[in-house]
Structure 1
Amino acid sequence: MKKDSAKKVIWYFALYAMFFVLSCYMVSRADDLVFQAGIERFGGFLGWVKWFSNNWGGRIVPQGLLVILLQFPSVIFYLFNAFAWVLLVIYIKKVFDADGVFRAGFIYGLIPALIFILIPTSVLTGTVFWKCANVLYLWGSAALLAAVYPLVKFIYGQKITVPDYVISVIGAVYASSFEQAGVLMCGVLFLLLLYSVFVKRMVKWQIVVLFLLAVACTFYFCRLPGNAVRSHIEVLGQMPKYDMYSTLDKVLWGVWYVINYIEEEAMYIVLLLAGTVVFLMHQNRKRNDPVVIGADIMLVFFVLCTINRIGLTNLGREYFLSNLFKLVPVDTVNFGFSALLAICSVIHFLAYVYLGCCILIIHPEKLEIIGFSFFFGGLASMWMMGFSPTIYASKGRPRFLCYLFLICVGIRIVSGAMCTEREKENVFTNAIFHSGQ
């Protein structure tokens, strides 16, 4: 036991050293300089909080912390940022490998590699390598996972400690002050809570309180006056026609935003996820199972979609496959669209829905609720941008959470599959042992 603990400490130190060096490449730029001058400009920290919450948004916890840290030498921010990176990696292991299938060293090395290989540089530059966005997307992701961890432990029948709850409350308050992470956190907690009540048929009152706290804090920060002011400014400066869109337009725009950018920037994440799901389904189910046949068709769809994307990206021209993967446009001067385009768009959308449903039932013996929740939660974190006039100004930043958690879902379903196989082997071994007796 002591040997395993020593190995973990070594890994934590190695991760911290790596992320500290990486953080040192960051320099204050653009909005970072505005936050750095916040205390001087508004006569103190509380003055900044009052102005920001009334004129810019509800992100007063993460970006308030940034304002404080930027008053010190840069090395202080680097120390905190490396710590946030380590927390993120640790909680990805805790939440998405709750069964403890993978060795710590393997998963701690794999996660950073997947993040930097599969998430586009254009997205990483605007999130984890920009201080004012870093405290939202990187630190917010770690806080979100810390917030949901007690419920994950409860679902897996593990003992929840007092420190788990304390860290979870801190994480919930932090994540709730960043609307994208806050809504995602509440959605995941809600689905996990439903699973606990209707499948496990039990729940702890502390878990319910945690969920209500997360919802209340998210609602509070989202309702601060600065959010409406910021939205109005963006409408006037970036999108004067935004108020002309109906609710249905915004829903469709969100769907377009999700599918278009995932397939433009992170198609390999989806393809790997779909391929893993299909492989595991063939391992767990009969080949003539309708669910497996549907999964095979889904995988073929995503393979063709990937081929089309490679052709468009590298050759810059459309081919006959391209028409199958076009989506109904929303932000366009052209009104109306063909029935064929509508049908293709619906099929395209349903392919993602089916992938998420396959994740839920990937194991015939149990529901994969963790992977299911974060799959649709990640997509929803992008989809909600259809309801924001900052969709253009934010550029690639809102897509970080989705790409990160799609990677994590892949880790989760492999971990779950390995755990299921291990349980089957134990049952088989015990059966042989008892029959021998």
Structure 2
Amino acid sequence: MAEFMKQNISANKIYTTLIFVVMAIILYRIGASLDLRTYMDDDVYFVKALDNTSLFDFLHMRYMTWSGRFFIEYILVTTINHHMVWRISIPLCLLLLCYSICKTIDNGEKTHPQYVLICLILFHSMPSKTLTEGAWWVTGFYNYLLPVSFGIYAISVVIHYRSQSNFKLFTSILALPVACSNEQMAVTMIALLGTNLIIDKKINAYKTTFLTVTLLSFLILMLAPGNKLRFLGESRRIPEFADYGIIDKIGLGMDRLGVVINASNSLLLIISALLILLYFKKVRFHPDVFGTIVCTIIFVFQIAKMNNLLPVQFMKPGDWINFSFYLRYTVALIFYVCIIYIICRVFNTVNDYVTVFTVIFAPATVIMIGFSPTVYASADRVLFLFECMILLVAMACVKKVLPKKPMTKA
């Protein structure tokens, strides 16, 4: 028996070591492949940002005339010319993101490296444009992967704060100014923290500090005078945007959301397959009628996408009278509501509230893009947080499918 246990421990060590080696190879190859894109205006702009001005004057000018992302832009302009900094930081932030996603769904349990590796692999299944613009593009990294990885790390700490070390509690607070320098991440954090306070029903010094720093960082971002000037400047893209009401802007956001859901998306396909499997497993392969209908809708929707039967173009002027666009929105929403329904059936304990919150709130991160006149000009980088939230849901499904112990006895 003792000999068997020694062999089992040795096998586990080899297995864990192999996982770390694979992750190291993946991260190294990512770092080695990165470079500045001198053909991109943003990279060139920030590389030369301090050529003729001081750091303080540049940050003041940006805050007053363009963007409230003060903390991100401070890090950006002071490090972008040091190539090894972002060549190392991008893989490390990706590792932090994957680790934090796994930690968030682990309910305080120890996170095994196999889940981090799976998350790292699934991360690469994001739509290529979103991945490229939000992570591999250097300026995109500073504005998306960096704050999102910091934000999800802070979330993973605050929702399991009772089991966290003082070091993690402290660093989660330090991460907030950067995390909340991205509008989508900041709103998501505030909404999730509010949900946590309602469910946990406890407030202490740490949570009070966390909420205070989050709100202050968000205010610094949103109250920047440059936001208004930027809004006016960007409105040339949609001249009538200033006259749009809240319903119109939500409609623009829905247009983007409909395209996101109907377009090819490996993560949504993986979630669909895993949820159907988990649902039938939960009901012991004796589903009720409604559950069967919901699973059928999810299955048929994915088949339709694979055969390019769903339109994925944005609405153009005059298309508002085209019935097919509203049918597209309806189909996309029905599919996503079905996903939410199955999630609520499978993840139905109090400890699963983060997964349920994430799948419900993820579309809001896309719809809120409609409140900016750059709703169509921001390309796919603004979908990065949505994809990361979908990745969290996918990992929650993976963790339920895989056995609890990474290795079983022979």
**TM-score range, shorter-chain basis?**
0.7 to 0.9
CA distance in 1, matches of 2:250, 2:313: 12
Cα pair 1:371 1:413 within 8 Å, conserved: no
CA distance in 1, matches of 2:343, 2:108: 17
Aligned match of 1:69: 79
CA distance in 2, matches of 1:217, 1:33: 28
Aligned match of 2:134: 127
2:189 to 182, 185, 190: 185
Q: How does 1:207-286 map to 2 (within 5 A)?
A: 207-236=207-236, 238-266=237-265, 268-285=266-283
Cα pair 1:360 1:367 within 8 Å, conserved: no
Question: Is the alpha carbon distance of 1:334 and 1:379 closer, same or farther for their aligned partners in structure 2, counting shifts above 3 Å?
Answer: closer
Helix, strand or coil for the counterpart of 1:40?
coil
1:57 to 42, 48, 67: 67
Do structure 1's residue 308 and structure 2's residue 307 form an aligned pair?
no
Cα pair 2:108 2:160 within 8 Å, conserved: no
Q: How does 1:407-426 map to 2 (within 5 A)?
A: 407-416=391-400
Q: How big is the alpha-carbon RMSD for the aligned residues of Structure 1 and Structure 2?
A: 3.2
Cα pair 1:328 1:341 within 8 Å, conserved: no
Cα pair 1:176 1:221 within 8 Å, conserved: yes
Moved more, 122-131 or 184-193: 184-193
Helix, strand or coil for the counterpart of 1:265?
coil
The structural deviation recorded for 1:65 is: 0.6
Cα pair 1:280 1:362 within 8 Å, conserved: yes
Q: Which amino acid aligns with 1:38?
A: A
Cα pair 2:108 2:163 within 8 Å, conserved: no
Question: Is the alpha carbon distance of 1:265 and 1:140 closer, same or farther for their aligned partners in structure 2, counting shifts above 3 Å?
Answer: farther
Cα pair 1:59 1:221 within 8 Å, conserved: yes
Question: Is the alpha carbon distance of 1:86 and 1:6 closer, same or farther for their aligned partners in structure 2, counting shifts above 3 Å?
Answer: farther
Helix, strand or coil for the counterpart of 2:159?
helix
Q: How does 1:78-89 map to 2 (within 5 A)?
A: 78-89=87-98
CA distance in 1, matches of 2:58, 2:24: 32
Question: Is the alpha carbon distance of 1:299 and 1:93 closer, same or farther for their aligned partners in structure 2, counting shifts above 3 Å?
Answer: same
Aligned match of 1:333: 318
CA distance in 1, matches of 2:70, 2:31: 23
The structural deviation recorded for 1:276 is: 1.9
Q: Which amino acid aligns with 1:39?
A: L
Gaps of 5+ in 1: 313-321, 423-437
The structural deviation recorded for 1:46 is: 0.7
Aligned match of 2:23: 15
The structural deviation recorded for 1:26 is: 2.1
Question: Is the alpha carbon distance of 1:219 and 1:416 closer, same or farther for their aligned partners in structure 2, counting shifts above 3 Å?
Answer: farther
Q: How does 1:157-172 map to 2 (within 5 A)?
A: 158-172=162-176
CA distance in 1, matches of 2:207, 2:200: 10
The structural deviation recorded for 1:227 is: 1.7
Instruction: Write out per-residue CA displacement over residues 338-372 of structure 1, whole angstroms, 9 at most, x where no aligned residue.
Output: 5x975774464243134224323424554621111
CA distance in 2, matches of 1:123, 1:53: 26
Do structure 1's residue 299 and structure 2's residue 310 form an aligned pair?
no
Question: Is the alpha carbon distance of 1:381 and 1:136 closer, same or farther for their aligned partners in structure 2, counting shifts above 3 Å?
Answer: same
Do structure 1's residue 173 and structure 2's residue 169 form an aligned pair?
no
Moved more, 31-40 or 206-215: 206-215
Aligned match of 1:432: none
CA distance in 1, matches of 2:128, 2:319: 33
Aligned match of 2:3: none
CA distance in 2, matches of 1:8, 1:192: 33
The structural deviation recorded for 1:391 is: 1.9
Question: Is the alpha carbon distance of 1:192 and 1:408 closer, same or farther for their aligned partners in structure 2, counting shifts above 3 Å?
Answer: same
Gaps of 5+ in 2: 1-8, 406-410
Helix, strand or coil for the counterpart of 2:247?
helix
CA distance in 2, matches of 1:40, 1:329: 40
Question: Once the two structures are aligned, what percentage of the paired residues are identical?
Answer: 16
How many residue pairs end up in the alignment? 393
Aligned match of 1:316: none
Instruction: Write out per-residue CA displacement over residues 31-53 of structure 1, whole angstroms, 9 at most, x where no aligned residue.
Output: 11211111223x21111110111
Helix, strand or coil for the counterpart of 2:135?
coil
Cα pair 1:278 1:299 within 8 Å, conserved: yes
The structural deviation recorded for 1:305 is: 2.3
